[in-house]
Structure 1
Amino acid sequence: MSDLAKSFEPAAIEAHWAPLWEKSGVYAPTLDEKKPSFSIQLPPPNVTGTLHMGHAFNQTIMDSLTRYHRMRGFNTLWVPGTDHAGIATQIVVERQLQDKGQSRYDLGRKNFVARVWEWKAHSGNTITQQMRRLGDSVSWQHEYFTLDDKLSGVVTDTFVKLYEEGLIYRGKRMVNWDPVLKSAVSDLEVTSEEEDGSLWHIRYPLADGSGEMVVATTRPETMLGDTAVMVHPEDERYTAFIGKQVTLPLCNRTIPVIADDYVDREFGTGVVKVTPAHDVNDNAVGLRHKLPVIGVLTLDAKINENAPEAYQGLDRFAARKKIVADLEAQGFLVEVKKHKLMVPRCERTGQVIEPMLTDQWFVAMSKPGRDGKSIAEKAIEVVQDGRVRFVPEQWVNTYNQWMKNIQDWCISRQLWWGHQIPAWYGTNGEIFVGRSEEEARAKAQAAGYAGELTRDEDVLDTWYSSALVPFSTLGWPAQTKEMSLFLPSTVLVTGFDIIFFWVARMIMMTVHFTGQVPFRDVYIHGLVRDSHGQKMSKSEGNVLDPVDLIQGVGLEELVRKSTSGLRRPETAPKVAKRVEKEFPEGIPAFGSDALRLTMASYASLGRDINFDTKRCEGYRNFCNKLWNATKFVLSNCEGFDCGLKEHSKEECAPGGPFHGYMNFSNADRWITSELQRVEAAVAKGFAEYRLDLVSSAIYQFVWEEYCDWYIEIAKVQIQTGDEAQQRATRRTLIRVLEAALRLLHPVAPFITAELWERVAPVAGRKAADDQVGIVAAPYPQSQPDRIDAIADAWMTRLKDLVGATRSLRSEMNLGPQERVPLYAIGDAAFLNAAAPVIKTLAKATEVRLFTDEAEFAKAAGVSPVAVSGDVRLALHVEIDVAAEIERLSKEATRLDGEIAKANAKLSNESFVARAKPEVVAQEKQRVAEFTAKRDRLLDQVKLLGSST
């Protein structure tokens, strides 16, 4: 107790415990085949990244689950790692080069890649350091980087295997193309947002001179590659045109008019252009109608040689302006309308994405493998038969919908940073795939090719290597101990936004290569939004940094962070004003535990989270409450006889030397019963991935039951009880607190570790490893046979009685410091036994018990009487009757006004029809509550009046 700080200061505690635990190796898994196993994979954050609120949320869930199972004695492995993040990392280093007036081409591939590795060594571990601040108990000895040699070997091996099975191929397909990166990008790296645009109506004359068709388009620059115009087959306006030819403006060639159900007759004029080389849907139409494919854009989005010479070499948007001007000059432009449209942009560069036909590498999703089943088919089966379970269950529908409509997976990227594709080309385009150049040359020689080989310059999609981590990080293809114990892992905790990009692909690849599922459960959580329900985005200036919530941040720095990186810099003053209003003094240091408790409290199944720092403040207060409660318990137990010496039943039996050694009260037995209930509720919450229920159950138990009720009762028992009662009280105080700290530890590791170090020895308990403390202590398990129904009933009665007395105090406007006598009549045995506790909890100067009704009525006088079961209570207060009548009458009149206002709303048919049902219900509740309170006041006025 002597070295326990006066108040809870999280920074010093976290700085002590975090490195101690990591250095001790306690996070490393045991590898005992006789034990049950729990394992979990960290969704690998980008090596370029920093901890954001989504990370703090799902890592709180993951760490709580991990610590819980470790304390339960499981072989426990949480695998950490970071993703090499091909696009994001390459952009970071390229921008550094740009600042020096250089490009990657100036360095060449080898030197550029070396430069990226250099950046990674110095700046690439930011997020793992922040994970330590959050208290993540990952097994750091299992940490991986997706470009590590070990994982790279698995990447290459699986690529070669899939190619040899005919499940990887190279072909020309349409992809999302970033003309700045000059690379294909995945759907996850494309953000489509509504923007202001235009809808150009362009005249396409019929080639036979019999008329014209007006086409509506949002991308006039792509018309240079049109190979048809299209109408709906049932659109009577254009039936006669189907099969005819139109002249393509500006291009001096004709294209056909075709009919297809794809056309939306309500869009524009009902006539659309078909550009198979530059639109995904047009490409599908072109394949159905066997249209030619004419690409008119280069890979850097300039007009190429397939377009008229006047536009060649122009950037796509410059070409758009010139094309529109030429259309207008030549009489082809009918009109231009303002139009809202969804514009796809690369999340990394902000560039507008171009659908582009390019040669890429693909994984065949639906082609049968050697076992007769496709990769996708097997991944669907393991979810259908329950080997993989989604929590909440409705996400199965999302998974199945995507899997059953799956397209082949484009896995190549035109970058230099990443896993270079293990394919070599002959001079005539022959492809030889091998784990090394030597293996590729051997395959070439076996095929009769002896010429030069050139390696494919592309790298693999980052998602390819991350899809392998369930087994690549455990030592596959070797049959390691980790593979046998931790595959499948227990649960994957992730957001719904990567079900397709990561979850499904891990299932596909793991099942295909290992025959096992990657994980048993997939717990899908919601997104963390700001307090107003808006998605957090740096470009909007509403992002909160979890580390700032842990250590605190001043207003000036908070404003600077919020206004840097805005999509529209002109909004900076507005953003700054919002921040200053919301956080006028910046953000105080809440500490990791308070943040984690807040995140856990939000972790209900599948719901998005409107994050409010006020909840952090509430949990910081909870930590303070726990700290102060511990100080009280230690001050009353440390150095005292807490009844911890265990004695046999014979010794404690009547006549034995320790008979009467401890005398447990009903309150002692009740709080022990409550402990069993909360332990059961917590176990259920963990089993169901309901961290919100875990945190709320512990919070309610510690704050309300233990601190607000039991500690207050214990104070009385220690002051007024005999030695046996004091001994039992101290034992209950310290043992329940010690168990509560272990119960809370998975969610709030730091404060519980600090307090448990002091509490455990006094409670007669130490961890198996004194160096790591509570981390290695056993997790509390509920013992239902210790629930005492008699004590529960006694405590319920006491709570009702104290609650009734507190209501009387409120009704009589007694301040917290005002103490008056409490008169009671009823169950004499109960009241006599409970009187010392009631006196303290009800803030009474005395508890006077009556057995005669007339004497009680006379003593109570005009004071209001409360009824609790068979007990009646009154507080004796000397009052000015006339002044009290006047006060109560004024309050009753005010309530009449409130009742009238609420009834006026409810009698307004327009209000009732327009208002939400919950608003109407609230007004009705207000009327009921105001009426009941007014009636009580009037009854008291009547009573006071009769007394005069």
Structure 2
Amino acid sequence: MEFRNKCCPAGPDIWVFLGRPIQGEASRATKRWHPGPSDKPTCQCHTWARYPLIPFTILENQKKSRKTLTSQGPSALAVLRNVQAGAGGATSRTTRSLTMEKPAAQAPGKAASEEKQLDDKELELERERKLKKEQKAREKEEKKLKAKQKETARLQAQATSDGPKKSEKKQKKKAAGDENPEDFIDPETPSGEKKSLAPQMAKQYSPSAVEKSWYSWWESAGYFGADPASTKPPFVIDAMIRWRRMSGYNALWVPGVDHAGIATQVVVEKKLMRERKLTRHDIGRDKFISEVLKWKDQYGGTILGQLRRLGASLDWSRECFTMDDQRSKAVTEAFVRLHKDGLIYRDYRLVNWDCTLLTAISDIEVDHLELKEETMLKVPGYSSPVQFGVLISFAYPLEEGLGEIIVATTRIETMLGDTAIAVHPEDKRYKHLHGKHAIHPFNGRKLKIICDAVLVDPTFGTGAVKITPAHDPNDFEVGKRHNLEFINIFTDDGKINSNGGAQFEGMARFAARVAVIDALKEKGLYKDTKKNEMNLGICSRSNDVVEPMIKPQWFVNCHTMAKAGLDAVRSKKIEIIPQQYEQDWYRYLLLPSYKCHLLQTSDGLKIYAIGVFQGNSGGDIVYLRVLGWPDDTADLRAFYPTSVLETGLDILFFWVARMVMMGMQLGGDVPFQKVYLHPMIRDAHGRKMSKSLGNVVDPLEVINGTTLEDLLKRLEEGNLDPNELSVAREGKKKDFPDGIAECGTDALRFALISYTSQSDKINLDIKRVVGYRQWCNKLWNAIRFAMGKLGDHYAPPATIVVSSMPPVCKWILSVLNKAIGKTVTSLEAYKFADATSAIYSWWQYQLCDVFIEAVKPYFFNDSQEFDSARAACRDALWVCLDNGLRLLHPFMPYVTEELWQRLPQPKDSCRKTSIMISEYPSVVKEWADDKLESEFGIILDTVNKLRSLKPPTDTNERRPAFALCRGEDIAATVQCYQSLVVSLSSVSSLKILAESDETPPDCSTAVVNKDLSVYLQLQGALNAEVELEKLRKKRDEIQKLQHALSQKMEASGYREKAPPSVQEEDMRKLTAFFEQLRVIGEAEKKLDA
């Protein structure tokens, strides 16, 4: 059977099954290799194929610059012959065209007859060739055996000194050929069952392989659920929830989907217009609601699917939707109770009106565009751009022949609804006009000239202000103060109505803007147009310019409830985190006109008293609704008030304050005890994420990875108009020229949490997420190392005796103890970035970089002398990994579960079935050893200084080092850890010198502290000029620190105000600076000599 691809003229393919899983694949994978002139793929038209009978591995032979195929099965030889012969029997050093063929079966008789045709001479030559070939093979094997014996001897010699790192890698590579590829591939696991792990860990971490199957098992096992009858303290909201669950809390996080009101309405309307050329008015309310629910079913499922992929440990048995029967019942009940209490009333008020959506929108849905000068903007419904950012001046004629009065406005069309002109009462220019009237030029309406010191600034412009009470918030208040007439001049769709006059009736508002200017010019009343800075309100959903309009609306009187909300924060019944936002809370709730507005939309909740309403009217009581209110449920009794509200700081006023007021009014208590305000995510450049900019990042694109082509394709599938699409495409190309690499859920979660220290914004850089994905590989390799050293029969002890362990084991447990304490303290204080920093630092810089490297010599040396130390190292290693994975789990749930499941289980233990329900680590007092940590601090500083002295090109060579100790104590410390310094800093030896000893020549030097300096002998590789420059920079740096510290100590009041402990520490630092400068000076003299 021949495996060829006939569609490609470049040549045949060879399709093989890889012996090792491809990175990112969870199951068996196959790979196509189509070599061309440079052994690079020349054809992109082929698909993946599977040849499962012959396990192959593609290897690179750098010496011969060709690809070869290796196999453990005899069938591979036939394939290899075909590869070597090539198509048509051609051979070359670089194989250009390969074909994998299964040799055709030949008839026995035919084969025999062909063999007989060979003459005796040819047969003899063939035998000689075979004998020579066999002889060469034997000689080659003998050479290999001798080389292996020599290598073994070298390894044994090195094991007694500094550890055979290189030889260990070589042995691993040799052993790799004997491994069964199937041992590294996880078996398929049925959904909901505990994941089946491969016998051997894969060589590299693969997010997609690791994250597969765990979530469905967690969910089916009921680990996400909470029991209302439990006696554990309740805790509600994923890093927080997982941590509290592991800490023994009855943790509940309820999933739900909001109908999203206006946001959904806009999207569905655009979809209807794009696909069917229909508006919501064309199909009617009921059919439109049906379309909205269809959209919700489709994209609501996407949202919940994203939450699952992100590892959110939600109690899915309690899933809810804001418009389901129970939640609708709660909203109706809330309305009825508030109405009975006299808190809900109907009134005519100014609202943010969207002339495209034909609805009022909340303040949170209004974006404010800052205009510095005249700007032409595209507005929905207008074919040409509209002018903004200008101030237009015109005159009103005065009655009784008193002349005219000049006013200015940015919205000239609203002059059709003017009912007064305001001046400052102390402005002498207009004293004679108080109580007089101006005459409207288009309808003859009398406009009273009123005095208002609140609104009018006599130094701005002409000092006279036109008043349009029905279309401006400030004018609305003036109208109420002076009992003016409120004249609405717009229809709901933004056209001039009959109140605007027959001349302009039916015109679109911005077309009327131009017509009014022309009409004023005709009457000689137009004065001029100047550029003007302004804030323009834009609907975030439709991009239409918001029009202030008076509408009958339902409102909730919040004065009493606002006071209760203020008192709740002041008395710490509710804690706002970070605390700095408490001032915003007080400022919002102290507003004299504070009230809640019940928005009305097409797809909201039906209440016959008002038609429909949505938005915060239902969201305000969400914490009651999800727990079964108004019914007296077990969930409501157990979990209300909840523990934490975690939300964005941008809705502290728009939603959080309203939830507090409604919760206290209807639920009888605060809805939550803490409010944690997370930063808002921006792109890497600090810009707000916007679909029109093309900088929105879908978390699944980061988790799974994606190409630039797919990113652009998704933009085209959205609702962007051509201009927005063009901008968005350019944004994607600029930010993600190579697409997005597969990062996995754990890396994304850890990155986002670590970003929370960035004040009120997160500038999300995908490169940082990629970095944490690489760090996951570091964790993976740490466990792989441990599994190899612990062995198949290792059983962790129930307790460990730290006192009998080697110092490095005592040290790692002590710093682990500190990491645990720091993490728990940070979590309790809601300083999540500090928690991730503590965990990362311990894993990276203490466990992996120091401890694992330090204990390797114990495992490389089989001497019985080190049996006790090896056993202690195994125990310490297991304790560290078990605690370290549990410490990390709330932040990286998938990789920690997978690695934790691979750790050996202690004998006769009650270990939990999953890491997510195991106990979160706590501080163990017996592990703390501050003195040992101090000693290791000096030793690790020594190691780092020695590493820094190595020339950049000197990667492998080990050189002799020297430690100059100025005192017996420091000499004893270095002597105690001499072998550790040699091992970690990769030097050949470390000689301890006293102050009286002469330092060797040709050395590079560094100061560790005032009592210790180190030297590295470069033996001919020393560049005096380079070393002098390094010393000069170090001297300048120390001198700056010394100068700053000296100024601090010499400042007036220092000796009187600074605590004695601070003064002692400052003096110690100053002495150390002087000593370091002295050592640097001596080193400079030697180099100059």
| Normalised TM-score (structure 1) | 0.82
The aligned counterpart of 1:803 is 944
The aligned counterpart of 1:753 is 897
Q: Counterpart amino acid of 2:269?
A: E
Q: Which runs of 5+ in 1 are unaligned?
A: 41-62, 367-373, 424-455, 653-660, 900-930
Q: 1:685 aligns with which of 826, 833, 848?
A: 826
Q: Note if contact 2:753-2:832 (Cα within 8 Å) is conserved in structure 1.
A: yes
The aligned counterpart of 2:988 is 845
* C-alpha distance in 2 between matches for 1:465 and 1:9: 43
* Displacement of 1:560: 5.5
The aligned counterpart of 1:417 is 603
* C-alpha distance in 2 between matches for 1:897 and 1:800: 21
C-alpha spacing 1:201/1:875, structure 2 compared with 1 (3 Å): closer
The aligned counterpart of 1:524 is 677
Q: Note if contact 1:492-1:522 (Cα within 8 Å) is conserved in structure 2.
A: yes
* C-alpha distance in 1 between matches for 2:790 and 2:943: 27
* Displacement of 1:257: 0.7
Q: Note if contact 2:269-2:280 (Cα within 8 Å) is conserved in structure 1.
A: yes
C-alpha spacing 1:67/1:894, structure 2 compared with 1 (3 Å): closer
Q: Note if contact 2:468-2:475 (Cα within 8 Å) is conserved in structure 1.
A: yes
* C-alpha distance in 2 between matches for 1:599 and 1:487: 29
* C-alpha distance in 2 between matches for 1:38 and 1:885: 64
The aligned counterpart of 2:1055 is none
Larger displacement relative to structure 2 (194-203 or 743-752): 194-203
* Displacement of 1:260: 0.5
Alignment of 1:303-322 (within 5 A): 303-322=496-515
C-alpha spacing 1:294/1:174, structure 2 compared with 1 (3 Å): same
Q: Within the alignment, does 1:177 sit opposite 2:177 as a pair? A: no
**Secondary structure of the corresponding residue to residue 722 of structure 1:** helix
C-alpha spacing 1:867/1:884, structure 2 compared with 1 (3 Å): closer
The aligned counterpart of 2:48 is none
Deviations 1:482-512 (A, max 9, x none): 2222111111111121111210110011100
Q: Note if contact 2:905-2:911 (Cα within 8 Å) is conserved in structure 1.
A: no
Q: Within the alignment, does 1:293 sit opposite 2:486 as a pair? A: yes
**Secondary structure of the corresponding residue to residue 584 of structure 1:** coil
**Secondary structure of the corresponding residue to residue 309 of structure 1:** coil
* Displacement of 1:731: 0.5
C-alpha spacing 1:663/1:938, structure 2 compared with 1 (3 Å): closer
* Displacement of 1:938: 8.1
- What is the aligned-residue identity percentage? 37
C-alpha spacing 1:606/1:789, structure 2 compared with 1 (3 Å): closer
C-alpha spacing 1:128/1:813, structure 2 compared with 1 (3 Å): closer
Q: 1:706 aligns with which of 847, 855, 869?
A: 847
Alignment of 1:463-862 (within 5 A): 463-559=616-712, 579-604=732-757, 606-639=759-792, 641=794, 644=797, 663-720=804-861, 722-761=866-905, 767-768=911-912, 770=913, 773-807=914-948, 809-810=949-950, 815-823=954-962, 830=973, 833-848=976-991, 857=998, 860-862=1000-1002
Q: Counterpart amino acid of 1:723?
A: D
**Secondary structure of the corresponding residue to residue 490 of structure 1:** strand
The aligned counterpart of 1:391 is 577
* C-alpha distance in 2 between matches for 1:893 and 1:73: 57
Q: Note if contact 1:559-1:576 (Cα within 8 Å) is conserved in structure 2.
A: yes
Q: Note if contact 2:820-2:922 (Cα within 8 Å) is conserved in structure 1.
A: yes
The aligned counterpart of 2:396 is 204
**Secondary structure of the corresponding residue to residue 293 of structure 1:** coil
* C-alpha distance in 2 between matches for 1:942 and 1:576: 62
The aligned counterpart of 2:201 is 4
Q: Note if contact 2:353-2:546 (Cα within 8 Å) is conserved in structure 1.
A: yes
C-alpha spacing 1:632/1:891, structure 2 compared with 1 (3 Å): closer
* C-alpha distance in 1 between matches for 2:964 and 2:437: 103
C-alpha spacing 1:237/1:563, structure 2 compared with 1 (3 Å): farther
* C-alpha distance in 2 between matches for 1:347 and 1:884: 63
Deviations 1:174-230 (A, max 9, x none): 211112222111111111212432211111011111211011011121111111111
C-alpha spacing 1:266/1:345, structure 2 compared with 1 (3 Å): farther
Larger displacement relative to structure 2 (118-127 or 172-181): 118-127
C-alpha spacing 1:800/1:400, structure 2 compared with 1 (3 Å): closer
* C-alpha distance in 1 between matches for 2:1008 and 2:527: 84
C-alpha spacing 1:750/1:71, structure 2 compared with 1 (3 Å): same
The aligned counterpart of 2:308 is 132
The aligned counterpart of 2:420 is 228
Larger radius of gyration: 2
**Quick one: higher RCO (CA 8 Å, sep 6+), 1 or 2?**
1
Q: Note if contact 2:1004-2:1017 (Cα within 8 Å) is conserved in structure 1.
A: no
Larger displacement relative to structure 2 (730-739 or 889-898): 889-898
* C-alpha distance in 2 between matches for 1:818 and 1:578: 48
**Secondary structure of the corresponding residue to residue 471 of structure 2:** coil
The aligned counterpart of 2:160 is none
C-alpha spacing 1:186/1:886, structure 2 compared with 1 (3 Å): closer
Q: Within the alignment, does 1:122 sit opposite 2:298 as a pair? A: yes
C-alpha spacing 1:299/1:409, structure 2 compared with 1 (3 Å): farther
Deviations 1:145-188 (A, max 9, x none): 11010010010011011111211122222211112222111111
- RMSD of aligned residue pairs (Cα, Å): 3.2
Deviations 1:659-684 (A, max 9, x none): xx994011111111111111110111
* C-alpha distance in 2 between matches for 1:506 and 1:786: 46
C-alpha spacing 1:573/1:163, structure 2 compared with 1 (3 Å): closer
Q: Note if contact 1:392-1:606 (Cα within 8 Å) is conserved in structure 2.
A: no
Larger displacement relative to structure 2 (117-126 or 275-284): 117-126
Q: Note if contact 2:574-2:672 (Cα within 8 Å) is conserved in structure 1.
A: yes
Q: Within the alignment, does 1:252 sit opposite 2:396 as a pair? A: no
Q: Note if contact 2:1028-2:1087 (Cα within 8 Å) is conserved in structure 1.
A: no
The aligned counterpart of 1:345 is 538
| Normalised TM-score (structure 2) | 0.72
Q: Note if contact 2:557-2:596 (Cα within 8 Å) is conserved in structure 1.
A: no
* C-alpha distance in 2 between matches for 1:853 and 1:330: 100
* Displacement of 1:570: 5.2
Q: How many residues align?
A: 833
Q: Note if contact 1:716-1:836 (Cα within 8 Å) is conserved in structure 2.
A: no
Deviations 1:344-395 (A, max 9, x none): 12111111111111112111222xxxxxxx2222222212222111112222
The aligned counterpart of 2:224 is 27
Q: Note if contact 1:663-1:725 (Cα within 8 Å) is conserved in structure 2.
A: no
Q: Note if contact 1:276-1:286 (Cα within 8 Å) is conserved in structure 2.
A: yes
Q: Note if contact 1:756-1:774 (Cα within 8 Å) is conserved in structure 2.
A: yes
